[in-house]
């Protein structure tokens, strides 16, 4: 089953916010990057594992797990909402440019996997887009191998 890493700024929307939503579910809106959009639109499916990453904060890292809970992607309503920060007047209503998926909270990690710690495992996580220089993708695939490694790392003792 495919796995993903999805970034969010915790000041805007954190894993705690997701947990607090009705049915612990929310639309993942506001993605405005074509590569991220393509993965959401073409590859994501219900049941996929999501590593929930906090970016742009004191301790960036993976904080929890979620799953994709919509059957597949569907049009992002915020692109048509002039009041929305994500409004995109150039998106054709009959051929929406941007999509969302529904994401449902699973659990917090027993301990955060910080970016700093992940970097210490760069060899095992070779190829993980998160660790590539200048990576700015907000939605990225995680291989089965890397997903298993990350879950093992969660179970391991934290670095001292």
**Residues of the shown chain interacting with DNA in the complex, contacts defined by CB under 7 A:** 7, 9, 32-34, 55-57, 60, 115-116, 119, 132-138
CB of 119 to DNA, least distance (A): 7
Instruction: Give the nearer residue to DNA in terms of CB position, either 1 or 158.
Output: 158
Q: Identify the CA nearest to 65 among candidates 26, 107, 126, 99.
A: 107
Minimum Å gap between C-beta 149 and DNA is 19
Please report how close the Cβ of residue 79 comes to DNA at its closest, in angstroms. 13
Residue 90 buriedness (CB in 10 A; 0-12 / 13-18 / 19+) = exposed
Cα angle, residue 17 at apex, residues 35 and 110 outer, rounded to 5° = 90
**Separation between Cα atoms, residue 121 and residue 160, nearest integer Å:** 15
Our CB check for DNA shows the closer of 58 and 155 to be: 58
Measured from the CB atom, the residue of 1 and 116 that comes closer to DNA is 116
d(CA 56, CA 81): 26
User: Which residue number, 38 or 47, has a Cβ lying nearer to DNA?
Assistant: 38
Minimum Å distance from CB 22 to DNA? 26
Neighbouring C-beta atoms of residue 86, cutoff 10 Å: 15
């Amino acid at each position: 089953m495919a796995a993903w890493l999805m970034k969010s700024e915790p000041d805007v929307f954190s894993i705690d916010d997701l947990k607090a939503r009705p049915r612990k579910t929310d639309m993942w809106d506001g993605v405005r990057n074509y590569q991220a959009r393509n993965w959401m639109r073409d590859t994501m499916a219900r049941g996929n594992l999501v590593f929930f990453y906090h970016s742009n904060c004191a301790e960036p890292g993976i904080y929890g797990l979620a799953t994709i809970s919509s059957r597949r992607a569907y049009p992002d309503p915020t692109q048509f909402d002039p009041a929305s920060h994500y409004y995109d007047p150039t998106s054709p209503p009959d051929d929406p440019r941007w999509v969302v998926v529904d994401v449902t909270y699973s659990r917090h990690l027993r301990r955060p996997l910080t970016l700093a710690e992940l970097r210490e495992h760069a060899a095992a996580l070779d190829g993980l887009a998160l660790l590539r220089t200048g990576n700015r993708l907000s939605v990225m695939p995680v291989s089965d191998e890397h997903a298993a490694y990350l879950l093992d790392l969660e179970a391991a003792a934290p670095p001292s």
